[in-house]
Structure 1
Amino acid sequence: MPFLSKYLEYVAPGFKDKIIFTEEKVEGFDAVIATGSNNTARYFEYYFRGKPSIIRNNRNSIAILTGNETVEDLKNLSEDIFRYYGLGCRNVSKLFVPEDYDFNSFFEAMYHWHPIIEKAKYANNYDYNKAVYLMSEFDILENGFFMIKEDKSYASPIATVFYEKYNNLQTLKEKLHADKNQIQCIVSKGCFENEIDFGETQKPQLWDYADSVDSVKFLLSI
């Protein structure tokens, strides 16, 4: 970050002397934008209480599949899953699928990402998580570089995507609405309001603010 700030000052001199990095207690501030884990967010909310703030915590992105997706849709979905090794909050970490969903087409569409297993750190995570799942006798589906596991959690580890089955789209919509503070993006095709197209999660527009909070409006209101 210090390097990036210096570069920003170079290309936009107006920022010079306006960016400070510190490990000391933060004092004398007017407002706060902070990000961290769910646990960290609780400390931030307490520490910065009484000041205008945007406190961001863990969020994950999900995809809703119906079984009617085209091969192109699923290939685009692979971008949402694997780009940046799946580490971002806009990466799809969980699928919602119908009870009778057949994963064969899904795995076929993912396969062109198989060279990712040649990356040592990714491969180490794949091997570790697979070993944990097998030793724990969890049911998984995998193709040699990627696993899916039925799980109610939204956050999945590297090289894994969780999935959950649904019977009724309306019931699913109600669940996702209740869990909205855990979700960053919803990828689907004609299933959900404010959905994002397959393959587009890592291409946010300028107005696609994180957590749907307008940061510019917040700053202008201070």
Structure 2
Amino acid sequence: MTLEERKDAFVNLGNFLTDFGNGTFSEKNKKFYQLLEEKTEVSIHYNGWFTKENILFSIHQWANALTLKNLEEWLSNYSIEKKAAKTIAVIMAGNIPLVGFHDFLSVLITGNNILIKQSKNDQQLLPVLVDFLIHENQGFKESITFTKERLENFDAIIATGSNNTARYFEYYFSKYPHIIRKNRNSVAIITGNESKEELAPLGDDIFRYYGLGCRNVSKIFVPEDYQFEQLFQAIYDWNSIVNQNKYANNYDYNKAVYLMSEFKLFDNGFLILKEDQSFSSPIATLFYEKYSNLDELNKQLQEDAEQIQCIVSLNLNPNHIEFGKTQQPKLSDFADNVDTIQFLLNL
């Protein structure tokens, strides 16, 4: 397959995902529509954190990303020459729907073969998209392999997991070219000058996917005299999240533990705010830390860069992400700021 043929197939996939999100389909794609609908329902029952709303949100983001314009702008930064394909093993996480799709896309768009080991928490959706791609171009049939067995016969590996699993990955795969990702979290900086309307989109950064993604904001930095009532008012539209049983159980459990430990908390009935220097907060909890000087805070965040996926603010820095945009990454927004395409081209 040529690069143009690969791009065309992914653009067609993007169009299909757009139609799926809109609840429409052509007769040609009817069977894939029905299959994706079926696997969406299976995913919901198989993984209690995968709601239909969140699955459709993920599908919508990929539908928006997979346009010819986006692909060409993304790939224009590289020289992708035709050469013998390498086999890239990809160990995917399962914390949010289709979380491994960017690695999947990167491997295939560069003309390589992919050996996929999925998380048991997210193994229903991607095979449908693979079937669609193969239908669009049979050349993908020999390029894509799923396995549940021990990984063998590959040239390089991309693995995503926790800090604990990363240690095993580094041990077992050290002799291969690799990208190994660990836990990261995202943070937001609040100045106190934001209006309620400007602050409201931050709710999406906090609550989308129940906060399970590395791009979810798990900690905020606020001025010394910040009044949290403003934040609670801004994110109140997310109050129904506590009606989800798994989220509610985490909320109740964490609140009980904190209260028994006599920690000082702010609580609005669906989110607990706890002062803590850590970046990784439990579900239904948002850590906060106070700052007195933005320059000093920025220096601190630079020192902690390896623990941070995204920094969110209201235009404090051109490298920061706008409130409400963390779960809408561009194709060029690589996880852990490691350029996957360049890694693949250098093999």
Q: Provide the residue aligned with 2:114 in structure 1.
A: none
- Cα offset, 1:20, TM superposition: 2.6
4 and 104 in structure 1: CA distance in 2 versus 1, 3 angstrom threshold: closer
State the one-letter code of the partner of 2:299: E
Q: TM-score, normalised by structure 2?
A: 0.61
- Distance in 1 (alpha carbons) for counterparts of 2:313 and 2:213: 18
Find out whether 1:182 has 2:310 as its counterpart. Answer: no
Contact 1:64 1:97 in 2 (8 A): yes
Q: SS state of the match for residue 201, structure 2?
A: helix
Higher helix share: 2
3 and 107 in structure 1: CA distance in 2 versus 1, 3 angstrom threshold: closer
Q: Provide the residue aligned with 2:190 in structure 1.
A: 65
- Cα offset, 1:212, TM superposition: 1.0
Q: SS state of the match for residue 19, structure 1?
A: strand
Q: Provide the residue aligned with 2:145 in structure 1.
A: 19
125 and 97 in structure 1: CA distance in 2 versus 1, 3 angstrom threshold: same
- Cα offset, 1:214, TM superposition: 1.3
Q: Provide the residue aligned with 2:246 in structure 1.
A: 121
Q: Provide the residue aligned with 2:335 in structure 1.
A: 210
**Which has the larger displacement, 7-16 or 102-111?**
7-16
- Distance in 1 (alpha carbons) for counterparts of 2:130 and 2:166: 29
* 1:53-202 correspondence to structure 2 within 5 Å: 53-202=178-327
**Which of 1 and 2 has greater Rg?**
2
Find out whether 1:221 has 2:346 as its counterpart. Answer: yes
* Alignment root-mean-square deviation, CA: 1.4
Q: Which has the higher contact order (CA 8 A, sep 6+)?
A: 1
- Cα offset, 1:47, TM superposition: 1.3
Q: Percent identity?
A: 60
- Distance in 2 (alpha carbons) for counterparts of 1:5 and 1:141: 40
- Distance in 1 (alpha carbons) for counterparts of 2:148 and 2:209: 28
Contact 1:5 1:19 in 2 (8 A): no
Contact 2:315 2:322 in 1 (8 A): no
- Distance in 1 (alpha carbons) for counterparts of 2:285 and 2:302: 24
- Deviations 1:83-103 (CA, angstroms, capped at 9, x unpaired): 111111111000001111111
- Distance in 2 (alpha carbons) for counterparts of 1:75 and 1:148: 17
Q: Which runs of 5+ in 2 are unaligned?
A: 1-117
- Cα offset, 1:117, TM superposition: 1.1
Find out whether 1:8 has 2:114 as its counterpart. Answer: no
**Which has the larger displacement, 7-16 or 172-181?**
7-16
- Cα offset, 1:10, TM superposition: 1.7
Contact 1:173 1:192 in 2 (8 A): no
**Which has the larger displacement, 56-65 or 10-19?**
10-19
State the one-letter code of the partner of 2:177: P
Match of 1:50 among 175, 179, 195: 175
Q: Which runs of 5+ in 1 are unaligned?
A: none
Q: SS state of the match for residue 216, structure 1?
A: helix
- Distance in 1 (alpha carbons) for counterparts of 2:318 and 2:302: 11
- Distance in 1 (alpha carbons) for counterparts of 2:258 and 2:308: 25
- Cα offset, 1:28, TM superposition: 2.4
